Structure 1
Amino acid sequence: MTTTQSPPHHRALFAAGVLFGLIAEQVVLFAVPLIIFQNTKSLIGLGVAFALEWLPSLIAYPFAGLMADRDGGARLFRRVALVRTAILGTVGTLCVVMPSWTTAALMTGGACLSLCIAPVRMSVEKVVPQLAGEHRIAAVQSLVQNMELLAMALGPALAALAALYLGKVWLLFVAAAVFAGSAACWLPLPRGAVQAVTDRSVRAVTAELLVGWRILAHNRPVLLLGVLNFAINLALAALLASNAALVTGVFRAGDSAYGLLNTAVGVMGLINLLFVPMLLKRFGISALGAIGFTLLCAALLLTGFAPAFPMYAVGFVAVLVGDALYNVFNRTQRLKVLPREHLGKVMGPFYLLNLLSFPIAGVLVASVGATLGPQHLITGLAILLCLFGAVFLPLTMVSFHRAIAARVSTSVGVVS
């Protein structure tokens, strides 16, 4: 395990690259659902687009984890960021030149961008312990989480401002430029430990992939965490997939309200960035996870029962703040019980299990949400999550406590 920390300027460039990449994602997430919903006027189309956006990434995750282990992380991040730039440039050009192809181009581009999510996430997972050293993993993971929330403030604000002057389609070119900037930020970062590959046959690759699945299957706390994350993500993804339709359709708010709502989440991210270190010192990592999960569940229920946009907006912001707090626990604890040399191989299947809920949520929104209404779907999923989490969250926390204690005992040794 790495015991030394990286230079401060490396951590700053790391954070900037993550932030720019996430801002670009937020610009895309602002523009694409609005364009599709306004073109189709259909919740079914929105749900299908959401499912297509996530399904390819699930297939890519195990392979992306293997790639990150072999590459070291930083170079893979840079290359994929440039691929995202090219995809958005192509899709944007098609939308401008052939307006009748807009919906199809956006859905196809979303599927291509989905393939890029996995290697980017795996690269970040791989680089975090390289930068954090042994004792600052929670702090660096909190930094990553808060970059996500900060991006939700800057991304929609940038998108809303650019849309006023350029139009929504041209936001795709803005996002492409920001992706290129994220790649540039990671240029000075060291590549990290690289695994030499002597056998590139299908059998050898399959054997390496199976290593990750076996470690995950036999690591009880991480497996329990993956199941719990699946349940959380199912409810959260249904809310995210329905958000554009709820804001502009159900509550009759405008595009500016949609952008302002996402910006409010990011502003809370700034506040969260200030308070998470103090919360960690005061409550500890497990208590912070429990607080985040409780807030997440309560806020989901609020969005489901909200009669008007102001109450929905409060609930939506609280959902993502609760998710951010829970994710500090989620991202920190799993790194403590996984072997670093196989981290990517394990995190690939772990993310696949986590994010399988996203395309399922898209299908639920397109079917149940379109029939009964998106708020009824969110309410039902929130109630199920409360019941499921009441059992699985304590089990997961106890399992991590035992596994971490066992690793500490093994590394220190027992004196008889």
Structure 2
Amino acid sequence: MTDPITGPQHTRHDTALLRGIYLPRSMDAGGSAMTTYGIPLLVLATTNSTALTGLAFALEWIPRLAAFAVAGAMVDRYGAARIFRLASAARAVIVMAVALVLTGLGSSGPGTVITVMLLAASTGVLTEFSYIAAETTGGVASREAGEHAHRVQSVLLGIDQVATLAGPALAGLLLQWAGPTAMLLVVAAFSLLAGVLSLRQRAKESVSVSEPVLQGLRIGWSTLRSLPALVWLVTGLALSNLTSGLLQAAAPVIVVQQLGHSTADVGLIWSAAAVASLLAVAVCRRAIDRWGLWLVGALSATIAASACLAVSFTHTYRAYLVLIALLMAGEGGMTVVLRTLRSHLVPESVFGSTLGLTVLLLLVPFPVAGILVAAAPTALLGHVITGCAVLQALGLGLTFTRLRTLPGLSTRPA
């Protein structure tokens, strides 16, 4: 029998979550996914330069690393809702301004190059700020939901997954059929809607003074050093991220210039890869219960390394798409293993500091990958990918060989 009071209360609560949390998060996730995958495509379309495409990818990620710690401190000091609104509004203004500037400058010239590079750097910073603010707001909503917290988190995770699927494809299609201005205006519209909708947020945030960034990193480093299994797994995944980041940065050049396909086809690759990764995550969650962490992790590593080694030898778009999907599926499986191991081994009292450090270590390879693409001549890009793939295979092989003898991955989780 339905409680005549509780029922409407739950309905009002769900409606408030939809308006104040889910809709702003959806708009922000859509804009973030489009900028992450669309800006390297935009740079290639406007400059036709492999080096500048790789440099733009690096400029997207280097400021994110710098903003990672600052954004958290700003959210703690000023509140997630305020930072989310400011970051969304700033991104909308910057992207619209760039769209107008590119319309006036045309599709080439030094002014165009400088404009798109500044766009890459600024959106990288603002995306990190809005993401951390959105994660914090989601945490507040989860705590308010009490025993239904898992429902809130499942919806938020679903929003991010849908954005990862649709964002790259939408950016590629708009760039191909409507041009750079249209793509940027859609990104600006997503950002503007995120900022406007966030005005409805009623998050009851308690602003607290966080510990200094350097102190948190020191705590995380000392904890990580005391857990050899986690050290080896983070090292292996960092090497794997270098290769996957290299392929992500080089994808516009490989697909458009070498394989002769469109920007829309580049977006389709990463959407298909996201589907493969989601399927792998779903399968690995069950497989770990049955066969344990080590076997699932080793199998995922084998799939990822084999796909990367094969990429440099493929010369067709279809094979490239399949191999990238296999790579992301393998990395999805290893990510599940990492998160499971991290939750089992890291003490709760230092979990946040250790989490922050591991995320930072896993993100560092992405700007390095962009710099490699920028520095390598187009004719040698395949050799660079092969070299990184060999390094990845050796690193992952050594990692899981070592992990087999260490406590943590050798047994099934409870």
Give the TM interval when normalised to the shorter protein.
0.7 to 0.9
What TM-score do you get using the length of structure 2 for normalisation? 0.77
Q: Which of 110, 120, 125 pairs up with 1:115?
A: 125
Shift of 1:293: 3.1
Q: Which residue of 2 aligns with 1:178?
A: 190
Q: Which residue of 2 aligns with 1:87?
A: 94
1:58 aligns with 2:65: yes
Q: Where do 1:242-321 residues align within 5 Å?
A: 242-268=250-276, 271=279, 275=283, 278-279=286-287, 282=290, 288-321=296-329
Shift of 1:185: 6.0
1:210 aligns with 2:214: yes
Distance of aligned partners of 1:342 and 1:281 in 2 relative to their CA distance in 1, 3 Å threshold? closer
How far apart are the structure 1 equivalents of 2:269 and 2:300? 20
Q: Where do 1:9-408 residues align within 5 Å?
A: 17-70=24-77, 73=80, 75-99=82-106, 100=109, 101-123=111-133, 126=136, 131=142, 147-163=159-175, 166-183=178-195, 184=197, 187-188=200-201, 190-196=203-209, 208-220=212-224, 221=227, 223-268=231-276, 271=279, 275=283, 278-279=286-287, 282=290, 288-331=296-339, 333-334=341-342, 347-368=355-376, 370=377, 373-393=380-400, 398=406
Residues 217-240 of structure 1: CA deviation (Å, up to 9, x unaligned): 111245555433321221111100
How far apart are the structure 1 equivalents of 2:331 and 2:103? 37
Distance of aligned partners of 1:255 and 1:336 in 2 relative to their CA distance in 1, 3 Å threshold? same
Distance of aligned partners of 1:75 and 1:329 in 2 relative to their CA distance in 1, 3 Å threshold? farther
How far apart are the structure 1 equivalents of 2:153 and 2:407? 21
Shift of 1:195: 0.9
Give unmatched runs, 5+ long, in structure 2. Answer: 1-12
What TM-score do you get using the length of structure 1 for normalisation? 0.77
Contact 2:255 2:317 in 1 (8 A): yes
Give secondary structure in 1 for the equivalent of 2:208. Answer: coil
How far apart are the structure 2 equivalents of 1:371 and 1:161? 25
Shift of 1:212: 0.8
Give secondary structure in 2 for the equivalent of 1:112. Answer: helix
Give unmatched runs, 5+ long, in structure 1. Answer: 1-6, 198-206, 409-416
Moved more, 87-96 or 286-295: 286-295
The code of the aligned residue for 1:103 comes to: V
Contact 2:285 2:336 in 1 (8 A): no
Contact 1:122 1:348 in 2 (8 A): no
How far apart are the structure 2 equivalents of 1:147 and 1:389? 31
Shift of 1:107: 0.6
Percent identity of equivalent pairs: 25
How far apart are the structure 2 equivalents of 1:285 and 1:142? 23
Distance of aligned partners of 1:297 and 1:269 in 2 relative to their CA distance in 1, 3 Å threshold? closer
Shift of 1:162: 3.5
Give secondary structure in 1 for the equivalent of 2:97. Answer: helix
Shift of 1:294: 3.0
Give secondary structure in 2 for the equivalent of 1:63. Answer: helix
Moved more, 171-180 or 221-230: 221-230
CA RMSD of aligned residues (A): 4.0
Residues 278-318 of structure 1: CA deviation (Å, up to 9, x unaligned): 45655566655444333222221222221322111111122
Give secondary structure in 1 for the equivalent of 2:180. Answer: coil
